[in-house]
Every structure is written in C-alpha cells, then in structure tokens.
Amino acid sequence: MSKMASKRKSPYPVIVGRYFGLRRLMAGASILIATAGLSASAARAQSCQELWVERNSYYKDAGYCFKTRRAISYFGNRGCSYEYEADVPLSRGIRERIADIRAMEQRRGCD
C-alpha cells in the first residue's frame, strides 16, 4: 500500500461517530424523560393501580422494605435495605414525582 493511500481518511468514522453521538443523545433524552416523569396528559390517564405501581417502584428500586401485604405481594422484599421511607436514598426529582403521584392518588380517591 502506498503512503498516499494509507494517509487517506475513511468517511466511515465520521458516519459512525455521528450515529453513536445521536444514540448517546437519544439515550440521554430517554433518561431525562424517565426522570422527569410522564407528560401531564399521560399522567391523567394513569389508573390508581398504575400510579401505585409507579410510586412504589421507585421505593423498590432503591431498596425499601415494604410493610403492607399488597406491596410485599406485588414487589417482594428480597434485597431490601431500608425499613423507613425517609431513609430511602431518592433524588429530589424522584421525591417530587412521588409527591405528585400521591397528590393524584388523593384527588382520585385511590386507596
């Protein structure tokens, strides 16, 4: 191979770089959407059960030890670490989402 041919740059790294850059951007946007919660219209459409599951999923993922039969039956307590809700390490954004869910549950008269 000549020196001239070896110095020529391939267009593929640019295309691949743009592709993976876009994928990273899309993944970041997905995380942002997930942590920001649902849109107002989607949140209104959620049932009491869906709200309950979403709210308690945050606690389950963070290691909370459930106390009610319903939650233990649905989520289980395997791998739990925190006996008290206040001790569960949740971000401010997640705590705000939980507060929003609780408010929606209260407005709807959910159990």
37 — alpha (psi -120 to 50), left (phi > 0) or beta? Answer: left
Looking at the structure, tell me whether residues 100 and 51 fall in a common domain: yes
Q: Write out pLDDT tens, residues 63-103.
A: 999 999 999 999 999 999 999 999 999 999 999 999 999 99
pTM equals 0.60
Which one has a higher pLDDT value, 109 or 1? 109
Does the residue 18 lie in any domain? yes
pLDDT recorded at residue 20: 47
Looking at the structure, tell me whether residues 33 and 58 fall in a common domain: no
Looking at the structure, tell me whether residues 64 and 100 fall in a common domain: yes
List Cβ neighbours of 30 (8 Å cut-off, separation of 6 or more).
Answer: none
Question: In terms of residue numbers, what domain contains 54?
Answer: 46-111
Looking at the structure, tell me whether residues 29 and 51 fall in a common domain: no
pLDDT recorded at residue 46: 85
Q: Rounded CA gap, 56 and 98, in Å?
A: 9
- Arithmetic mean of pLDDT, 21-46: 52
Looking at the structure, tell me whether residues 67 and 83 fall in a common domain: yes
Number of domains in the chain: 2
Does the residue 1 lie in any domain? no
Looking at the structure, tell me whether residues 55 and 98 fall in a common domain: yes
